[in-house]
Chain A
Amino acid sequence: MYLIPECSLAPFKHRLRLFGLYDCLRPEDGRLLVRTLSKGPTPCLSDSRILYAAKGAHVILDTAVRFSEGDENSATDNQRGLAKDIFALLASGARSVIGAHHSPKPFAKQNHMTLENILRGSGDMGAMLTTAWGIKQIDAEQNIIHIQNCKPRDFQPCGPFQIIGRPFIEEHGDFQLHKQPGECGELADEQTERDKGGAPTQVREARAANLARVRNWLDQDPNQSSEQLARRFKEIGVAVSAVTIRKYKMELSR
């Protein structure tokens, strides 16, 4: 059972064809049940029709937070709504519940995966999961995704691995293994330099250039005040405050 409340029918149909899943919708197969935005607002997971249909099915929630009642950034709401509904699905006989969940934004700049940084509001929700897998796209062009298990409750998981989407999804309808466990390093080792954390490249480069200018101007006249240097920056079209220049001065004096 695939529930995707934030996608309409046409794009989903396209993606189902892409993955070769379209035929599973046909009545003679009948193994794939789908509900998209086009069918109207998705009923809550505790709806008796959903619970009935879930019996014996793998239920996919894309994304899980769309089924929680309340603020998606609230761990309390996530816990109360989503966890309760997932338990209801399992209690009514669902084989498994598989959900996608957003990571908190700071994860973009982090180079490690934990249960806490891969799941937004995970303090309560993460605890009720059987398994959690963290993913991070480390190459947008080839759609290379780094995958790592962050919560194995009852089994010994494999090490981190990577899958690659382009051009394999278009050509063969699925990802292909890019780096297998054992061959693939931790996220910190696998991310490109740009994504390893800290400020974006252009910000770091601009800061380094400003620092070099301040060093150069102070070499010419060491007695210039921070306000004077701020005015010199303004003259060349760069907005830097006197407070920031004081920080530059402190850094240069070390």
Chain B
Amino acid sequence: MVSSPQVEMPEKLTPPLLNIEAERCVLGAVLSDNKALTQIAQQLGSGDFFRPDNSFSRHGEIFSAMLYLADQAKPIDLVVLSEELQRRGQLERCGGAPYIASLADGMPRVSNVEHYARIVKEKANLRRIAHAAERARDLALSANGDTAALLSEIASRCVPVDAQPAWQGVFHSFDEFESSAPLNFAIDGFLQNDGATMIGGLSGHGKTLILRSIAKALLGCKGARLWDLFTVSERASGARYVFDPRMQPRAV
């Protein structure tokens, strides 16, 4: 997991440098679905969260506690998370249990957690750049006229360490490989899962009938046989959630 340096804030913080809602959504997503943490842990650190009073970030502290609980293989829910923050002596500073419980309120979608994390990361990087620029300004104002030495010092001290793109998030982590399912078949030796299968043939040669036969096998019970030749490995589950009026179609 990335350990990002804490960001000291410039004195005047402009709105483009923070997005509190995105931070809340990240934390709320993890609370709603712990698996969301594995999607964002590679690109986001606790130091990426905004620190309103220039010394303590309650969102950063909550995220840090979440990372700790994940490392300990503990569930991340209101009770366990509050307990962990209490143990750290930070529960009240973080807003207490009511604030933590409110994080998941009004959160658009857990599936968008990576987008929220990207926003948080970008804002953190902007803050780092703004801070670096401010330090560069201070150094320039206090310089003794040696421009080359000033540039060298700015380069070494003011370049935001964590401003590079979060490239790690582009690639799979080892954990993702470890937790991914092995190669498996819906119908052994005939229909592989997580892939595309094509039935090629001339018009009128039975493609549609064969597709219906495959559908029948998939809708049958586990262990059923397709044409007495291939064994169905899994029973197709219901898609009733599609009709659940409480659920909204996913944005694409």
Contact of B197 among A46, A98, A175 (CB under 8 A): A98
Nearest CB to that of A16 among chain B residues? B212
Q: Are A158 and B189 in contact (CB under 8 A)?
A: yes
Q: Are B207 and A62 in contact (CB under 8 A)?
A: yes
A51 proximal to B (CB < 8 A): yes
CB distance from A28 to the nearest CB of B (A): 9
Total residue contacts A-B, CB cutoff 8 A: 210
Given contacts A96-B196, A103-B200, A180-B229, contact A20 B243 (CB under 8 A): no
Q: Are A135 and B195 in contact (CB under 8 A)?
A: no
| Alpha-carbon distance between A48 and B5 when the two chains are bound, in angstroms | 39
**8 Å CB interface, A18-61 against B:** 19-21, 24, 27, 29-33, 46, 48-49, 51-53, 55-58, 60
A99 proximal to B (CB < 8 A): yes
CB distance from A175 to the nearest CB of B (A): 6
A155 cross-chain contacts in B, Cβ below 8 A: 183, 185, 189, 192
Contact of B219 among A21, A118, A126 (CB under 8 A): A21
B200 cross-chain contacts in A, Cβ below 8 A: 100-103, 118-120, 122, 132-135, 150
Interface readout for A167-192 with B: 1 if CB under 8 Å, 0 if not? 00100011111001100000000000
B206 cross-chain contacts in A, Cβ below 8 A: 135, 137, 143, 145, 165
CB distance from A159 to the nearest CB of B (A): 11
| Alpha-carbon distance between A150 and B215 when the two chains are bound, in angstroms | 21
Nearest CB to that of A113 among chain B residues? B200
B168 proximal to A (CB < 8 A): no
Q: Are B192 and A1 in contact (CB under 8 A)?
A: no
B245 cross-chain contacts in A, Cβ below 8 A: none
| Alpha-carbon distance between A55 and B229 when the two chains are bound, in angstroms | 28
Nearest CB to that of A116 among chain B residues? B200
Interface readout for A119-153 with B: 1 if CB under 8 Å, 0 if not? 11010011011111111110000010101001001
B204 cross-chain contacts in A, Cβ below 8 A: 137
Interface size classification for chain A: 35 or more
**8 Å CB interface, B106-159 against A:** none
CB distance from B48 to the nearest CB of A (A): 27
| Alpha-carbon distance between A103 and B203 when the two chains are bound, in angstroms | 8
B170 proximal to A (CB < 8 A): no
| Alpha-carbon distance between A1 and B249 when the two chains are bound, in angstroms | 16
B73 proximal to A (CB < 8 A): no
A97 proximal to B (CB < 8 A): yes
Q: Are A95 and B194 in contact (CB under 8 A)?
A: yes
B250 cross-chain contacts in A, Cβ below 8 A: 48, 51-52, 55, 92
**8 Å CB interface, A51-103 against B:** 51-53, 55-58, 60, 62-64, 86, 88, 90, 92, 95-103
B193 cross-chain contacts in A, Cβ below 8 A: 95-96
Q: Are A177 and B196 in contact (CB under 8 A)?
A: no
Q: Are B202 and A57 in contact (CB under 8 A)?
A: no
Given contacts A31-B236, A97-B196, contact A175 B227 (CB under 8 A): yes
CB distance from B93 to the nearest CB of A (A): 39
| Alpha-carbon distance between A98 and B217 when the two chains are bound, in angstroms | 13
**8 Å CB interface, B199-219 against A:** 199-216, 218-219
Q: Are B214 and A98 in contact (CB under 8 A)?
A: yes
Interface readout for B227-252 with A: 1 if CB under 8 Å, 0 if not? 11100000011111011000001111
A248 proximal to B (CB < 8 A): no
Nearest CB to that of A135 among chain B residues? B201
A2 proximal to B (CB < 8 A): yes
| Alpha-carbon distance between A4 and B190 when the two chains are bound, in angstroms | 22
Q: Are B236 and A58 in contact (CB under 8 A)?
A: yes
**8 Å CB interface, B172-197 against A:** 183, 185-186, 189-197
A107 proximal to B (CB < 8 A): yes
Given A101-B199, A133-B190, 17 extra CB contacts under 8 A: A2-B211, A21-B212, A48-B250, A58-B236, A98-B196, A100-B210, A100-B211, A108-B202, A119-B198, A120-B200, A125-B198, A130-B194, A130-B197, A136-B205, A147-B210, A175-B213, A176-B228
A-B contact pairs, 15 of them (CB 8 A): A19-B216, A29-B238, A49-B249, A51-B250, A53-B239, A99-B198, A101-B199, A102-B200, A102-B202, A103-B200, A107-B202, A130-B194, A136-B202, A153-B192, A155-B183
